[in-house]
Every structure is written in structure tokens, then in C-alpha cells.
Amino acid sequence: MRRVVVTGMGAFTPVGLNLEDYWNALINGVSGAGMITRFDAGKFKTKFACEVKHYDPQNYFDRKESRKLDLYAQFAMIAAGEAFQHAGLAEADHDKDRAGIIWASGIGGIATFKTEIEGYLAGDGTPRFSPFFIPRMISDIAAGHLSIKYGFRGPNYATVSACASSTNAIIDAYNLIRLDMADLFITGGSEAAINEVGVGGFNAMQAISTNNEQYQTASRPFDATRDGFVIGEGGGALILEEYEHAKRRGATIYAELIGVGLSADAYHLTAPHPEGDGAKLVMLNALKSAGIPAADVDYINVHGTATPLGDISEAKAIVHVFGDHAYQLNISSTKSMTGHLLGAAGAIESIAVIMAIRDGIIPPTINLETLDPRIDPRLNLTPNRAQKREVKVGLSNTFGFGGHNTSVIFRKFNG
């Protein structure tokens, strides 16, 4: 099988609008939470979120182009554009028939759907819809736009597995490169669900925090007082490339993707297995895929959403899989800072792992003041402050409603 390396990254997040700003915010423990500005949330149970700050599409797109793009697709274009430049692909000579796009979104164009339905219901019943309604809304359209922009004619599609979506995209890109079906991919995910429908829907599920009084610290993975995740938005992109292809063009290699895991809880629509059975299996599958022992892993960026059940089951799974080595690991949830980017979470969190490998710094789990007594206190959850540590191997977990579990393992590149 062919080796797969990371040669570029892009991030457009609630704590930073580019890769380096995103990373600096993480290692400095910056919270992206604020009161919602995208709509009047006065009557909603949750009035705060992790929004992309001061976003103006005119800074990135002309008016004609932005009309064709839902917000989630705009975020995709921005994050992918940074990754493309970061990888030096603008100057590179590569076969575009062998270059593809796999882009994820758990929800897709929910803002477009809401706006079009509102317009119809406000009218006299005559069907008047924008010709861009469907092309703006569907979850695969970001991949289509990226393919057109960069002329990539290789595999092109979307993956949808709720909050595991962008990790699924990364895994698919990895597998297709390994199988010699492509040489490089732009892959990742984006999400833009901070609107009345998104917030109202998650409120109805009792999935998101309602701690409006302490909103800046409401994303509290592993804390005894956590009451749900904080919804976020944005996008993350990776350039995955076959090693020899990257070497020939003189690309900078930031890490090697060495293993992937997939599993299902087969348990409940929204709740994780209480003993973390699906999480155990997916990490074991990733380790087997990578061909490394559990003791080789230095850092785990956990799913860690700050939901009452999810944090406990994931912590149990880590102890089961890693045994005594679990207490030698650094573990952190960067969702404590970015909020939960839903289908884009896996992409930005994979980037966090790669940057930890690059710089030897573990981003913290902020807002962790009182550990839930049901979570093993011997685990190093990197509370509140970044910790310096050489990271040779890092793992990222991402889980989704429906019981979808994904893990990816990155290793420091050694040639």
C-alpha cells in the first residue's frame, strides 16, 4: 500500500480565521463563545454559540459568486483555499485527473433551506423558489464547487455521518490514495448551522448547553457541571498526498497519516454506548490499521463534546484500549475552545493533532475546574493550560449521532 502524507492545511474557525491564528488560539486557551449575532435568540433556551467572528462574505467573494454559495460552502471554499496555497499547489505541476475532492458536511445548507421555506410560507402559495435553492442546499455541492475552482477531475463527493463526517472524508481520501485511485485530495469539512433551525433543533434534543450566564466557559468537557455542547461553525481542510508524489514536487510534509478506524455503536440514535464499546472498537481498529502498539500514542484529541454521557463513555474506552499507558498520554478536547463544529469537527481537530506534532505542544481542555467523579482522575486531560511534550504519534476521535465512530492516527514524518 502507498504512504499518505499531509502537505497542507487550512482552518476557518470561531477562534481563528487562518491556520496559524487558529493554532495560536488553541495553545493559548482562547474561548470562541459569544452571544449569538446571526439571529435574535432572545426566545431560545440557548442564546450563545461559537460563531466565526465578524464574517463578511464580500471580503472573500464577489456578490455574484456569494449568491451561489450557502454559508457552509463559503466556509469550505475559504478553508480549502488556504490549504491549497499552504501546500504550494498553485505553483505545482500535477495531474488533475489524479487529484480529487472529498468534502464533508453533516447538515449542509440548512440556512438556505430555512430561508427558502420561509419565503414560500410568507407568500400567497404560488411556488417561487430561487434557482439556486437546491444547488446551495445539498451537502455535496461544496465538493463540486472546489472541483470546478481547482480543475480537479479525480474522485469527487461528500461524506455525511453527522459529527463524524469530515473524519470520514479524510479516511476515504486516505484509502483511495493507498489504493492508487488518486495521488492527492483536498479533504475536510465545513458547517454553518447557527440559525433558528439549528439551535432550536439541538435545544429540543437537550443536546446543547443552556448556560447563558456563563457562556464563555459553558463548553466544559469532563467537568462535573457540564450541560451539553456549544454549537460552532466554520471549516477545516487538509491536503492528503501520496508520499512519492509529494517528494517529487518538493512539498513540505507536516505529518504522515498512518492509520484509520471505523465502527458503529449499534446502540442508540443519539446516545453513546454507556461502556464506550463503539469507541473502544474504533480506536482498536485504527491502531491495527496503523500497525502500532497502543503505547506508541502520545496524544489523543478526543471527541469530548461536554455532553453528560459522551465524555464518560469515551474516557472509559480510552482506559480500556490503552490500559496503564492511558495515564501516560496527554488527552484534550479542543471543543472546549472552538465549540462543536458538527460535521467539520474532525477536520479542525485532525489539524490540531498535526500542529501538536509539529510544535511539541498539547492544546488544553479549558474550563475544566471540577472533574466529573465518574471519570478516572488518573487521566491527564491537559486541564486549562497547554503542556509541552514531544508528540511522535497523535490520534483524533470523532463520533456522530447514529452511532458513527471514526479515528485517525498521524505520525511525525521521518522520511
For domain 261-411, the CATH superfamily is Thiolase/Chalcone synthase (3.40.47.10)
Alpha-helical regions (H) of 151-218: 165-178, 196-204
E strand or H helix that includes residue 280: helix 277-290
- C-alpha–C-alpha distance, residues 260 and 40, integer Å: 41
Please report how the helices 71-86 and 110-122 are oriented relative to each other, as an axis angle in degrees rounded to 10. 160
- C-alpha–C-alpha distance, residues 291 and 378, integer Å: 27
Q: Which of 50, 163, 273, 404 is catalytic?
A: 163
For domain 4-248, the CATH superfamily is Thiolase/Chalcone synthase (3.40.47.10)
- Predicted TM-score of the model (pTM): 0.98
* Of the candidates 164, 373, 405, the residue with the CA atom closest to the CA atom of residue 282: 405
User: Any catalytic annotation for residue 163?
Assistant: yes
Q: Which of 86, 145, 245, 340 is catalytic?
A: 340
User: Any catalytic annotation for residue 340?
Assistant: yes
Contacts of 146 (CB under 8 A, 6+ apart): 76, 77, 80, 101, 103, 152, 186
- C-alpha–C-alpha distance, residues 130 and 291, integer Å: 51
- C-alpha–C-alpha distance, residues 262 and 171, integer Å: 9
Q: Which pLDDT tens digits describe the chain residue by residue (415 residues)?
A: 899 999 999 999 999 999 999 999 999 999 999 999 999 999 999 999 999 999 999 999 999 999 999 999 999 999 999 999 999 999 888 899 999 999 999 999 999 999 999 999 999 999 999 999 999 999 999 999 999 999 999 999 999 999 999 999 999 999 999 999 999 999 999 999 999 999 999 999 999 999 999 999 999 999 999 999 999 999 999 999 999 999 999 999 999 999 999 999 999 999 999 999 999 999 999 999 999 999 999 999 999 999 999 999 999 999 999 999 999 999 999 999 999 999 999 999 999 999 999 999 999 999 999 999 999 999 999 999 999 999 999 999 999 999 999 999 999 999 8
- C-alpha–C-alpha distance, residues 341 and 347, integer Å: 9
The domains of the chain are located at 4-248, 261-411
Question: By the 8 A CB rule, do 358 and 252 touch?
Answer: no
- On the question of a common fold for 4-248 and 261-411, the answer reads yes
All cell numbers assigned to 64 = 455574484
- C-alpha–C-alpha distance, residues 351 and 370, integer Å: 28
Helix (H, G, I), strand (E, B) or coil at 379: coil
In the 8-state DSSP scheme, what is residue 361?
A: E
User: Any catalytic annotation for residue 86?
Assistant: no
